Structure 1
Amino acid sequence: MDSKQNLLVIIGPTAVGKTKLSIEMAKRYNGEIISGDSMQIYRGMDIGTAKITEQEMEGIPHHLIDIKEPSENFSVAEFQLLVRDRIDAIAQKGKLPIIAGGTGLYIQSVIYDYQFSDVPGDEHFRQQLEKKVKEIGNDALYQELVKVDPESAAQIHPNNVRRVIRALEIFHLTGKTMRDYQRTQKPDLLYNTALIGLTMDRENLYKRINTRVDLMIKDGLLAEVRNLFNQGLRECQSIQAIGYKEIYEFLDGKVTLEEAIENLKQNSRRYAKRQLTWFRNKMEVEWFDMTDVNNFAKKIAEISHYVEGKLQVKSNTY
């Protein structure tokens, strides 16, 4: 018998339906949910991150939401530590830990026995890159990363300058890419993991993304971002998130509101595509197609059958 702790992980691109499924699974299997989203940790960033509301939680405990101020940084290593701690705490209560989210590298860091490289920093090199960003722009520096480490570049947004610089720094110091370090470690799954991926045909997914953005605007995204803008938050990890940087460009007078909204939709669609590519290349996932949203009950039954077989658990639903 496998002595590893049971863990249910629900991944997939933005707007595919992870939140709804996670609630259903938590109710069925007496679970608590840990957010696997690197931006929902920030307080005051609710609309743009599609953060679950208290009403949507339906009484299910949620973890790693609203734990940081937007001015604070947050690393993969910190996420790994916090989530593993939550998994243990939830399991000790006799409940099933469920991770739901779309930040692939973060989730991968938790479920695999992978230690982050202790590659030292090179302050002088980093300062050179920071200066270069100001001269040539984010995208040009990102293209330098694409040339030397396309795999890392594929899961780092061009505007996440801090991570782009760190990836280039590692390559500069070692001659190896970040992915090379992962490959040499050959990590094993730390938990008895049911890794569920949700997918959807592209046309329907993109429609859902566009609709979600329109709803975010209607629900007050502009006011939410303006509040951060008025606090003087600029060079922060949080503001690089999709949904915030586009509105910042509008508030800076660089684009019209209509252009900002269209950029937000386009960036969200591109991000969804990158998410799917990353998950398919990096993780052994059991995929479920959620295109037929009107047949949710049937899909729940399929997923439940898989979870019960994989984790040897019984449903509370009779």
Structure 2
Amino acid sequence: MSYNIITILGPTATGKTTLAAHLAAKINGEVISADSRQVYRGMDLGTGKDYEDYFVNGVEVPSHLVDIEDAGAHYNVYRFQTDFIEVFEAIQSRNKFPVLCGGSGLYLEAVLKDYKLIQVPPNKKLREKLEGKSLEELTEILKSIKPGLHNITDVETDRRAVRAIEIEMYYKEHPEIDTSMPEINSLNIGIKFDRDSRRRRITGRLKQRLEDGMLDEVKKLLDSGVTPEQLIYYGLEYKYLTLHIIGTLSYDEMFRQLEIAIHQFAKRQMTWFRGMEKRGTKICWLDGYMPLEEKLEKIQQLFSK
């Protein structure tokens, strides 16, 4: 297969950015971040923006979709897909190779599976017309308006099938909407550690970031005018550190609850990646303990197959 992008994915604290940057440096590439929180300016330690990871042998590897939105705003997967297309095509136009890197499963799948993410409103009349039809009938209707049906999750249930028909009908009635995605042929590399190692890495990284000033980062955001409610919305580090700063949690309560929340988050990430595999996305998993040079060599071997 001829790949036009390499994707590095995995749960939090697995060293994805370092690997992506070194790979990009080796293959004349640029990194595209697929992280739902690293898009926000000023949210650095809490989102794991390890800027130094983008420097390979003293040279900065170009990166994209990091620090593109003000803290307090709401970025979403619709915007990500649009921004990704723009960056992906720009990288290709420079004869560079795109390396997608992140742990936000929905963001990754939105581009790897060619999701059409225009927000389509409900069509009450159409739903009434389709009511009572069997899943087989709904599937045939969907195939008639979408001959290249390849996403079987669209017809897993009656409800999904009706929604898929509704979306396709909306696109047909609004041809001015551009729902096209560039062709994506991705070599997907997953990095994972065993459960105990992952937990140790998460706890160690949390302690390090607190020592590096993550609490001061949250205080600075609050002082800049971002409200506690806005920071709590972002979850994990920003939620629990804010709750500590406003007096809801003691430091020990904050640390303990945040540690548990990050462990649960990493578990959900792995569940999502397994779901991606079930939905047809091939992921080649590498042991996180494999030395960096061996990882790079393995990726290049897979790429050249």
1:243-294 deviation line (CA, Å, top 9, x unaligned): 100111111211111111122211111111100110111242323232425x
Question: Which residue matches 2:275?
Answer: 281
Asked whether 1:307 is paired with 2:303, we answer yes
Q: Is the 8 A contact 2:54 2:61 kept in 1?
A: no
Q: 2:26 aligns to what?
A: 28
CA displacement, residues 101-124 of structure 1 (integer Å, 9 cap, x when unaligned): 000101111222221263438xxx
Q: Secondary structure in 2 aligned to 1:250? A: helix
CA contact (8 A) 2:4 2:97 kept: yes
- Aligned partner of 2:287 in structure 1 is 290
Distance change in 2, residues 1:261/1:9 (3 Å): same
The residue number in structure 2 matching 1:87 is 88
Unaligned runs of 5+ in 2: 123-157, 169-179
Question: Is it true that 1:236 corresponds to 2:234 in the alignment?
Answer: no
CA shift for structure 1 position 71: 1.8
1:156 matched residue in structure 2:
none
Counterparts of 2:115 and 2:29 in 1: how far apart (Å)? 25
- Please say if residues 189 and 286 of structure 2, whose CA atoms lie closer than 8 Å, have aligned partners that are also in contact: no
Change (3 A) 1:188 1:196: farther
Residue 302 of structure 1 aligns to which amino acid in structure 2? K
**Cα distance in structure 1, aligned partners of 2:10 and 2:106:** 13
CA distance in 2, matches of 1:292, 1:55: 18
8 Å contact 1:8–1:99 — kept in the other structure? yes
- 1:39 matched to 2:4: no
Following the alignment from structure 1 to structure 2, what is the Cα–Cα distance between the partners of residues 180 and 278? 22
2:171 is matched with which residue? none
Match of 2:111 in 1: 110
1:139-163 deviation line (CA, Å, top 9, x unaligned): xxxxxxxxxxxxxxxxxxxxxxxxx
Cα deviation for residue 190 of structure 1 reads 3.0
Q: Percent identity?
A: 32
Q: Determine the C-alpha separation between the residues in 1 that align with 2:43 and 2:15.
A: 20
Paired residues for 1:102-251 under 5 Å = 102-116=103-117, 118-120=119-121, 176=159, 181=164, 190-230=183-223, 231-236=225-230, 239-251=233-245
Unaligned runs of 5+ in 1: 122-174, 310-318
Q: 1:50 to 1:179 in 2, by over 3 A?
A: farther
How big is each residue's C-alpha offset from its partner over 1:2-47, in whole Å with a ceiling of 9 and x where there is no partner? 6xx7011111000011011101210111100011101001111100
C-alpha separation in 1, matches of 2:303 and 2:231: 35
Determine the structure 1 residue equivalent to 2:12. 14
CA RMSD in angstroms, aligned pairs only:
2.8
1:36 aligned partner, one-letter code? A
Residue 208 of structure 2: SS of its match in structure 1?
A: helix
Match of 2:143 in 1: none
Specify whether residues 95 and 238 from structure 1 end up closer, same or farther in structure 2 by C-alpha distance, changes over 3 A only: farther
State the structure with more CA Rg. 2
CA contact (8 A) 1:288 1:303 kept: no
1:72 aligns with 2:73: yes
**After superposition, what is the alpha-carbon deviation per residue over 1:72-99, rounded to whole angstroms, capped at 9, x for unaligned?**
1111111000011100000111110111
**What amino acid is the match of 1:112?**
K
How far is the alpha carbon of 1:177 from its aligned partner?
6.1
3-state SS of paired residue (1:253):
coil
Q: 1:213, 1:244 → 2: CA distance?
A: 12
After the TM superposition, which segments of 4 or more aligned residues of structure 1 sit over 4 Å from their partners? Answer: 177-182
Contact 2:232–2:239, Cα closer than 8 Å, also in 1: no
CA distance in 2, matches of 1:18, 1:103: 12
TM-score relative to the length of structure 1: 0.72
**What is the CA–CA distance in structure 1 between the aligned matches of 2:190 and 2:64, rounded to whole Å?**
20
